[in-house]
Structure 1
Amino acid sequence: MRMVAFQHNRWFLSVAVLVTALLLKYHYSNGTSEQLVWILRPLAILVSLLTGLHFEFERGLGWVNLAESIAIAPACAGVNFLILIFCLGSYQLLWTSGRKARLSSIFLLLVAAYGFTILVNGLRIMLSISPFEQEVLGAIINPETAHRLSGVVIYYNALIIYYISVSCVLNGRKSNRGSSLLYLLVPLLWYLGYALVLPLVNSVNTSLSIKFWAHAQVVILVSSTLTLSLTALFWLYQKVKQGRSPEERGIYGQCNSGSRG
């Protein structure tokens, strides 16, 4: 009976997560800069702290720096990324952790996703207006591809960090068991679904632009390369760890389990 109640609870919370995600998506798709102040304002404050630039609110546009011709507009809000990591974290909690979740747990995941999105998006905007992207990367490849490439690298790495962090909080060391490739396939599939599958579904009755296919190539190439690279690093770490002597592993375990006096 308790298991039935738990399953019912998981399904109910899954529906609550889906409804929340859809409402956020609708609000973002139809929201103005005034209505998105809840995420644009803290984002502008963070970017100002990171870059030293001053931003002022312009109705209908967002937070702008006229001297540098920079605008933090609704398109820069990162709400799609917020929705992605909120849904991924909720999936981990409800369907992979074995923990009995509550509405309060879902709310905490939403708050965590909100804060993490602002941090990641702030770093993304800081990089986009830095000389590195505009001059260094832009000199190697065209500026549009450089902007797209740095965005995919930042957001996908951030997604992996968020995924691993939530796994560690929910499952502890058990989250590192099993195949590293299979473990990292979860964020990869979520990211590809968010970046490519959803746009394809939304454009069933319309033709996709050349820019989308260029974006798709960068997304697939970068995310797959990063996933395989991280898998290789995890595999190498496990080999090094297994190669240590029992005495070294014992000392390492004692240091990790020891308390501070």
Structure 2
Amino acid sequence: MEIKTRTSPSLLLIAIIIIGCVYMKFWYSQSTVENLFFILKPINQLVQLAIGSSSIRMADGSYYYSEIDVLIDKSCSGFNFLIICWGSLSSLFYRSHKSIKVNILSLFKALGLAYLLTIFTNTSRVIISIHLLRFSEMATWLASSWFHEALGSFIYLTSLLLTYLFLLKKPYETHAQLT
């Protein structure tokens, strides 16, 4: 049995992905709501369309829905999901038999797809959370922070799993042999 070894271009690409994820996480920790405008604005616009309510843009760049007392701010941006999604897609798009240039271009392809998935997934998360808040008088735990975080985690993991399965060419033949 032959053992595959990683080549220098492979290690370089893996290093770029890891350094990119660490840098994005550091940037996010230092960012303001205004820095996340490129994510928050499209999410806010889609939420407005979905729930039929308008928001007010606050001085810090967050969006406030006074009718339902909901604030979309930095913690609602989904940037951590963007980081995880980009890292996952980058490693999924990596092909050891392709040139380094093709693999570097795939990093940008992964970033574009990760951005679109972040907007879609996070908008879905916000809309579901808003709709569930309507039932919080009957079930107070629906408005709790732990439930909000658990729901977000479930939605993000589901999105990553479905994206992975969708992008596989032969998911059952390659990764899960059925008997």
TM range (shorter): 0.7 to 0.9
Structure-to-structure mapping, 1:145-160, within 5 angstroms:
145-160=146-161
Structure-to-structure mapping, 1:59-208, within 5 angstroms:
59-94=59-94, 98-100=96-98, 101-130=102-131, 132-135=132-135, 139=139, 141=141, 143-144=143-144, 145-166=146-167, 168=168, 172-173=169-170, 175-177=171-173, 180=176
Task: Please give the alpha-carbon distance, in whole angstroms, between the structure 1 residues aligned to 2:143 and 2:133.
Answer: 8
Q: Secondary structure at the match of 1:64?
A: strand
Kept in 2: contact 1:133–1:147 (CA 8 A): no
Task: Please give the alpha-carbon distance, in whole angstroms, between the structure 2 residues aligned to 1:133 and 1:48.
Answer: 16
Task: Please give the alpha-carbon distance, in whole angstroms, between the structure 1 residues aligned to 2:53 and 2:125.
Answer: 15
Shift of 1:13: 1.6
Task: Please give the alpha-carbon distance, in whole angstroms, between the structure 2 residues aligned to 1:150 and 1:138.
Answer: 18
Kept in 2: contact 1:56–1:63 (CA 8 A): yes
Task: Please give the alpha-carbon distance, in whole angstroms, between the structure 2 residues aligned to 1:64 and 1:141.
Answer: 22
Kept in 2: contact 1:61–1:71 (CA 8 A): no
Unmatched segments (≥5 aa) in structure 2: none
Q: Is residue 14 of structure 1 aligned with residue 14 of structure 2?
A: yes
Q: Secondary structure at the match of 1:22?
A: helix
Shift of 1:68: 2.4
Kept in 2: contact 1:138–1:146 (CA 8 A): no
The verdict on how the C-alpha distance between 1:99 and 1:126 changes in structure 2, with shifts beyond 3 A counting, is farther
Higher share of residues assigned helix:
1
Structure-to-structure mapping, 1:30-45, within 5 angstroms:
30-45=30-45
Q: Percent identity?
A: 24
The verdict on how the C-alpha distance between 1:75 and 1:165 changes in structure 2, with shifts beyond 3 A counting, is same
The verdict on how the C-alpha distance between 1:33 and 1:137 changes in structure 2, with shifts beyond 3 A counting, is same
Unmatched segments (≥5 aa) in structure 1: 181-234, 240-261
- Matched to 2:139, the amino acid is A
The verdict on how the C-alpha distance between 1:89 and 1:73 changes in structure 2, with shifts beyond 3 A counting, is same
Q: Is residue 24 of structure 1 aligned with residue 24 of structure 2?
A: yes
The verdict on how the C-alpha distance between 1:52 and 1:123 changes in structure 2, with shifts beyond 3 A counting, is same
Larger Rg: 1
Report the more deviating stretch, 57-66 or 45-54.
57-66
Kept in 2: contact 1:137–1:146 (CA 8 A): no
Task: Please give the alpha-carbon distance, in whole angstroms, between the structure 1 residues aligned to 2:135 and 2:34.
Answer: 33
Q: Aligned-residue CA RMSD in angstroms?
A: 2.8
Aligned length: 172
Q: In structure 2, what is the equivalent of residue 185 of structure 1?
A: none
Kept in 2: contact 1:53–1:65 (CA 8 A): yes
Q: TM-score, normalised by structure 1?
A: 0.58
Task: Please give the alpha-carbon distance, in whole angstroms, between the structure 2 residues aligned to 1:162 and 1:137.
Answer: 35
Q: Secondary structure at the match of 2:83?
A: helix
Q: TM-score, normalised by structure 2?
A: 0.82
The verdict on how the C-alpha distance between 1:81 and 1:51 changes in structure 2, with shifts beyond 3 A counting, is same
Structure with larger RCO (C-alpha < 8 A, sep 6+) = 2
